[in-house]
Amino acid sequence: MREDAWSGKDVLSILDFSRADLETLFETADGFVNRPGSVPKSLTDRIVATAFFEPSTRTRLSFSTAALKMGAKVIDLSPDVSSVLKGESLSDTIRMLESYSDLIVMRHPSEGAALLASEVSDVPIVNGGDGSQHHPSQAMLDLYTIRKLKGGVDGLRYVVLGDTRYARTAASFLYGLAKYDPKSVYLVSPEGLRLRNEVRNMVDKLGLKIEELDDLEPILDKVDVIYMTRIQKERFPDPNEYEKVKGSYRINKMVLSKAKDAIVLHPLPRTNELSYDVDDLPNAAYMEQARLGVPVRMALLHLVLGERGR
Amino acid sequence: MREDAWSGKDVLSILDFSRADLETLFETADGFVNRPGSVPKSLTDRIVATAFFEPSTRTRLSFSTAALKMGAKVIDLSPDVSSVLKGESLSDTIRMLESYSDLIVMRHPSEGAALLASEVSDVPIVNGGDGSQHHPSQAMLDLYTIRKLKGGVDGLRYVVLGDTRYARTAASFLYGLAKYDPKSVYLVSPEGLRLRNEVRNMVDKLGLKIEELDDLEPILDKVDVIYMTRIQKERFPDPNEYEKVKGSYRINKMVLSKAKDAIVLHPLPRTNELSYDVDDLPNAAYMEQARLGVPVRMALLHLVLGERGR
Amino acid sequence: MREDAWSGKDVLSILDFSRADLETLFETADGFVNRPGSVPKSLTDRIVATAFFEPSTRTRLSFSTAALKMGAKVIDLSPDVSSVLKGESLSDTIRMLESYSDLIVMRHPSEGAALLASEVSDVPIVNGGDGSQHHPSQAMLDLYTIRKLKGGVDGLRYVVLGDTRYARTAASFLYGLAKYDPKSVYLVSPEGLRLRNEVRNMVDKLGLKIEELDDLEPILDKVDVIYMTRIQKERFPDPNEYEKVKGSYRINKMVLSKAKDAIVLHPLPRTNELSYDVDDLPNAAYMEQARLGVPVRMALLHLVLGERGR
């Protein structure tokens, strides 16, 4: 067990964690999933602060649920009723939360916001998503879901579909995959939504080989995992660009008839890129993925905060 | 005791519960009111999710209070900071909450939203109000208040006053009364706010005899319970229609001088249909009614969720 | 110990508490600061309601944190999703909260709102700021911070800087100082932001001698405590007036080079009146001040609510 990688640490990017660190996380989560009755109340008397400067439902609520299940109390900064509106700087807000809490889960639209927060805070910062690259707990639960449903992450064939430019989940997932040994990784996205150079460079540096394609069709029967991303209107500088691509790269029952054994992951919420007729297919793994967000985040909070007092 | 009617069940409409079921609820609430020190922490380690897609204060906060008093943790989906804004479907949102919680209390503007939620959710759904007919926990606490202050619900004379068209509390209260044997039930409302046909048909089918009147005056000295509803601007398709009726059917001290023994119920909040000079009269029962919302909702949560693990 | 001054009482204004009462509070807070492990869970099974009709972050979150640390549960009325929007009166809202909770912490823009609330509520009201004069828990933690960092409040030289007209923190701080024996109290503010007559009259009545100045420069080397206030745009009836003064009375590293031993207090959030280059100076006491808000509010809640059940 490499708990030292976690205890008291910030969780800013999946890049900061080794494969062995992730295995520690996943084994801890396994314990919580397999023996729910034995979940330790290791966060008793701890305060977890949630600070979401961008809307979020799954991330905020699943972290809150995870914290509460481990015995912590949760305080929530709602940005609309906050000093942020009075023009307070992020570092002042974080220093306030730091003095009230034992750990801060934050989301912020700006790249590097979580890193900045970690520099001013003595309590651990968990990045619930910032900028367009990092959403570590999402990538961790994505990998955990694959590990659980496919028996492992290595040796599989992946396609990341849709918005690979603005979706931080896509970049984080690739960074996570780079810790493993996938057989192949395809990226299928429209021209305006291709990978950013900084992400492509990082993926190269990490030694992850990816192949970019315009169309899903030719590789549909060659993939084990389809990782979808929502095509988010709010990520587009130009609304016309959004209108052009919003229907592309849609997955439905008919499409999946050519990919019987592939599981479909999606961080959710979905818009129209993922059809409801997929929900009842054995391919659909996204609801299980959302559900597993709670034990993975419980494990994360336990390793970061629960171990400290021992 | 008919606890099987409650344990693990959805609470979508008071129509789904028999008089005996309601008595089980009321006796459970009596226990909590009479011996507050003996309230069991029967929801310990349970997560209750609140999801209000329409503003609410009393319903949300009294359910939260009830859940906390029984030992549960509460997570709250605030629609304004939620994926709902990103266009997520209700069923996806409910499935997310289902995977985080053990019971969902929801309010929604659309008729049938709670039923839809119950179809996709494996955890019990408690309808905190949807559409214009169903608000079961409100009707339950209304009946409980009458039972407590008047010694019972049978044999009394009732008037439902004001908006009987748009107020879901009025429809739910009538459905509740139909489980009992009231001596008489009058409805007094302006022309545009008369009972909907589907509600009138249901009331007929349930065998509850009602008499609709234009004016309160003639029956004022013949009623034991005055059930008021707020005249809600937001329920009117046409604002002019609202302006025409907003002052009608106002209850004040002078009016009540002709109804000395009648108790006045109001689900609150009030606007100007219920004068503040009523507050100090013995007729005023609406504050007690609000207060009793907590033990009734504690009893409801206890019967639905607290009994399951036994 | 004068616990009777606190137990079950409303906390509307620091004027209602004697110096001995404040000492009781501060000694209780000292206990929590010095022996965090021995904090009693004296609010177990209590519900604390927070009702902020004006944005607040520090006050709301530090009260919530304090309540949770003492074992209480917290329910929060968010005004934007509340009946308030449906036109409910403050007294009805308070009576609702009273029936759900054991103590209400509230903030309201109107002078006297907390007093009104206390008149309709049987549970204690804690004023988290109302109107332009009263914010008692803030003044208490301000004095506590000075006591802790300077060894006491008596005999020191103070300057209150900036907005002394609209900032309720400034008025409350002066009312608090009047309980003690400061050596001198200067007020430095631009013409449009001078003390209101009612505050000046009260300060006179309390026997606190103040000296009003246009400029900080001449007294900078003669003060021990610099009490700053934010120049809040929302307090100005006329935006032009705001633009005229917003840069005045700015404190930065250069200014403080003439006041080496003075500590700088600020209720936060800051805008541009307090420069970030002060943060690393030994003068900076405002982060410690924010941090001490939690134990002071824990002590307050403990004395008001925790002692009642004994």
| Structure confidence by residue, pLDDT tens digits, C269-308 | 998 899 999 999 999 999 999 999 999 999 999 999 996 4
Closest CA–CA distance from residue C63 to any residue of chain A (Å): 10
Q: Give the gap in angstroms from C-alpha A94 to the nearest C-alpha of chain C.
A: 11
**B121 part of contact set with chain A, CB < 8 Å:** no
Distance CA B122, CA B124 (A): 7
Strands B125-130 and B103-108: parallel
Q: Does pLDDT of A308 surpass 70?
A: no
Computed from CA positions of residues B21, B23, B25, B31, in that sequence, does the dihedral angle turn out positive or negative? negative
Is A84 touching B (CB cutoff 8 A)? no
d(CA A108, CA A120): 16
Give the pLDDT confidence of C164-215 residue by residue, as tens digits. Answer: 998 999 999 999 999 999 999 999 998 888 999 999 999 999 999 999 998 8
Q: Chains touching chain A at 3 or more Cβ pairs under 8 angstroms?
A: B, C
Name the residue among B52, B57, B79 with its Cβ closest to that of C96.
B57
Quick check: do B3-134+291-309 and B136-289 share a fold?
yes
CA angle C39, A71, C25 (to 5 degrees): 20
Nearest CA in chain C to A82: C57
Q: Please report residues of C whose CB lies closer than 8 A to that of A80.
A: 80
Pick the residue of B41, B43, B61 with the most C CBs within 10 A to test the interface with C by mutation: B61
pLDDT in tens, A92-144: 999 999 999 999 999 999 999 999 999 999 999 999 999 999 999 999 999 99
pLDDT band at A3; cut points 50, 70, 90 = low
Among A44, A57, A81, A232, the residue to mutate for chain B (most B Cβ within 10 A): A57
Contacting residues for B68 by C-beta, under 8 A, at least 6 apart: B74, C47, C73, C75
B86 noted as active-site residue: yes
Residue with tokens 């391919």: A283
Does the pLDDT value for residue C73 go beyond 80? yes
Percent of chain A having pLDDT more than 70?
94
Residues of B in contact with C43 (CB under 8 A): none
For chain A positions 141-160, those within 8 Å of chain B (CB to CB) are: none
CB contacts < 8 A, A to C, total: 69
Q: Other CB atoms closer than 10 Å to residue A252's CB: what's the count?
A: 14
What is the 8-class DSSP label of residue C195? P
Helix (H/G/I), strand (E/B), else coil: A76: strand
Which of A61, A68, A75, A233 is the mutation pick for testing B, counting most B CBs within 10 A? A61
pLDDT beyond 70 at B308? no
- Residue C251 bridge partners (DSSP): C274
Is the minimum CB–CB distance between B310 and chain A shorter than 8 Å?
no
Q: CB of C109 within 8 Å of any CB in chain A?
A: no
Instruction: Judge whether C194 and C247 are in contact, CB under 8 Å.
Output: no
Asked whether the beta carbons of residue A271 and residue B86 sit closer than 8 angstroms, the reply is yes
Asked if A58 has any chain B CB less than 8 Å from its own CB, the reply is yes
Interface confidence (ipTM) of the complex: 0.94
State how far residue C215 is from chain B, nearest Cα, in angstroms: 45
Per-domain residue ranges of chain B: 3-134+291-309, 136-289
Asked if C82 and B57 come within 8 Å (Cβ–Cβ), the reply is yes
Q: Compare CB distances from B61 to C75, C87, C88 and report the shortest one's residue.
A: C75
Confidence at residue A81, expressed as pLDDT on a 0 to 100 scale? 47
| Nearest residue in chain B measured CA to CA from A279 | B92
Q: In what order do the strands lie in the sheet with C225-228?
A: C211-213, C184-188, C157-161, C225-228, C263-265
The answer to whether residue B10 scores a pLDDT higher than 70 is: yes
Using DSSP's 3-state secondary structure scheme, residue C104 falls into strand
Structural tokens at position A167? 């979706």
> What are the tens digits of pLDDT across the range A216-238?
999 999 999 999 998 877 667 77
The pLDDT, as a whole number, for residue C242 is: 77
A122 touches C: beta carbon within 8 Å: no
pLDDT at position A70 is 97
C270 touches chain A (CB under 8 A): yes
What pairs with residue A73 in β-bridges?
A47
**Is A57 in Cβ contact with B77 (below 8 Å)?**
yes
Q: Look at residue A309 and tell me whether its pLDDT is greater than 50.
A: no
Q: How far apart are CA A65 and CA A293, in angstroms?
A: 10
Spatial separation of the C-alpha atoms in residues B174 and B184, rounded to whole Å: 12
Predicted confidence (pLDDT) per residue in B26-41, tens digit = 999 999 999 988 899 9
CA angle B58, B45, B130 (to 5 degrees): 30
Question: Residue C216's closest CA among C180, C183, C254?
Answer: C254
Both tokens of C250, joined, read 């700015």
Classified by CATH at the fold level, domain B136-289 comes out as Rossmann fold (3.40.50)
Are B81 and A57 within 8 A, CB to CB?
A: yes
Question: Closest Cα to residue C58, out of A83, A48, A73?
Answer: A83
Query: Which residues on chain C are in Cβ contact (under 8 Å) with A97?
Result: 61
B56 has a chain C CB within 8 A of its CB: yes
| pLDDT, position C240 | 81
**Residues A306, A41 contacting (CB under 8 angstroms):** no
Whether pLDDT at A307 is above 70: no
pLDDT tens digits, A253-268:
999 999 999 999 999 9
Interface of C with A in 228-257 (CB under 8 A): 230, 232, 234
Tokens 């961008």, residue? Answer: A54
Chain C: residue whose CA lies nearest to B65: C100
User: Are C78 and A82 inside 8 Å of each other by CB?
Assistant: no
Q: Which two tokens stand for residue B129?
A: 């109000």
pLDDT at C152 over 80: yes
Give the chain A residue whose CA is nearest to the CA of B88.
Answer: A269
Instruction: Please tell me the predicted confidence (pLDDT) of residue B309.
Output: 43
In angstroms, the CA B46 to CA B25 distance is 20
Report which of B172, B82, B149, B155 is spatially closest to residue B291, judged by C-alpha positions.
Answer: B149
Beta carbons within 8 Å of B119's beta carbon, 6+ residues apart: none
Q: Tell me whether strands A103-108 and A47-52 are parallel, antiparallel or unpaired.
A: parallel
How far is the C-alpha of B55 from the C-alpha of C79, rounded, in Å? 10
DSSP A8: T
CA triple C251-C253-C254, angle to 5 deg: 90
Partners for C (CB, 8 Å, 3+ pairs)?
A, B
Contacts of C82 in chain B (CB under 8 A): 55, 57
C61 in A contact zone (CB under 8 Å): yes
> What number of CA atoms fall less than 13 Å from residue B277's CA on the CB side?
8
Instruction: Using CB atoms, pick whichever of B52, B269, B294 lies closest to residue C81.
Output: B52
Would you call C75 an interface residue with chain A, using a CB distance cutoff of 8 Å?
A: no
> What is the biggest distance separating any 2 CA atoms in chain B, rounded to whole angstroms?
55
Q: Per-residue pLDDT for C309 more than 60?
A: no
Task: Please give the pLDDT value at position A145.
Answer: 98
Is a pLDDT exceeding 90 seen at residue A42? yes
Which of B234, B198, B229, B192 has its CA nearest to residue B214? B192
Q: Sheet containing A157-161: which strands, arranged edge to edge?
A: A211-213, A184-188, A157-161, A225-228, A263-265
CATH topology of domain C3-134+291-309: Rossmann fold (3.40.50)
In the block, tokens 């004016």 appear at B215
CA angle in degrees (0–180, nearest 5) for B193-B197-B200: 90
A85 to chain C: closest CA residue: C55
Q: What count of residues does chain A have? A: 310
Catalytic residue among B107, B168, B230, B235: B107
Band (B230; pLDDT cuts 50, 70, 90): confident
Does C122 lie at the interface with B, CB-CB under 8 angstroms? no
| pLDDT tens digits for range B78-103 | 755 455 555 789 999 999 999 999 99
Reported as a single tens digit per residue, the pLDDT across B127-186 is 999 999 999 999 999 999 999 999 999 999 999 999 999 899 999 999 999 999 999 999
User: B47 pLDDT band (50/70/90 cuts)?
Assistant: very high
8 Å CB contact of A83 and C57:
yes
Q: In sequence order, what are the beta bridge partners of C225? A: C158, C263
Residue of A nearest to C269 (CA): A88
Positions of C annotated as catalytic residues are 58-59, 86, 107, 135
CA-CA-CA-CA torsion sign (B164, B169, B171, B173): negative
Q: Indicate which of B57, B274, B296 best probes the interface with C, i.e. most C CBs within 10 Å of its own CB.
A: B57
Amino acid at position B105, single letter: V
- Residue B164: name the closest of B178, B150, B153, B175 by CA: B175
- Report chain B residues whose CB lies below 8 A from the CB of A68: 47, 73, 75
Residues 6+ positions from A103 with CB-CB distance below 8 Å:
A46, A48, A49, A123, A124, A125, A126, A301, A304, A305
Asked if A44 is an interface residue toward chain B (Cβ–Cβ < 8 A), one would say no
Full strand arrangement of the beta sheet holding B157-161: B211-213, B184-188, B157-161, B225-228, B263-265
Comparing CA positions, the residue from A191, A195, A169 lying closest to residue A245 is A191
**Tens-digit pLDDT profile for residues A69-100:** 999 999 998 755 455 555 789 999 999 999 99
Confidence (pLDDT) at B310: 40
Q: Of the candidates C198, C261, C202, C199, which has an alpha carbon nearest to the alpha carbon of residue C229?
A: C199
For residue C18, the distance in angstroms to the closest alpha carbon of chain A comes to 28
Q: Which DSSP string corresponds to C133-191?
A: TB-HHHHHHHHHHHHHHHS-STT-EEEEES-SSS-HHHHHHHHHHTTS--SEEEEE--G
Q: Which residue of B has its CA nearest to A235?
A: B86
Buried b / exposed e across C97-124, counting CB within 10 Å, b at 16+? bbbbbbbbbbbbeeeebbbbbbebbebb
Q: Is residue A62 within 8 Å of A294, Cβ to Cβ? A: yes
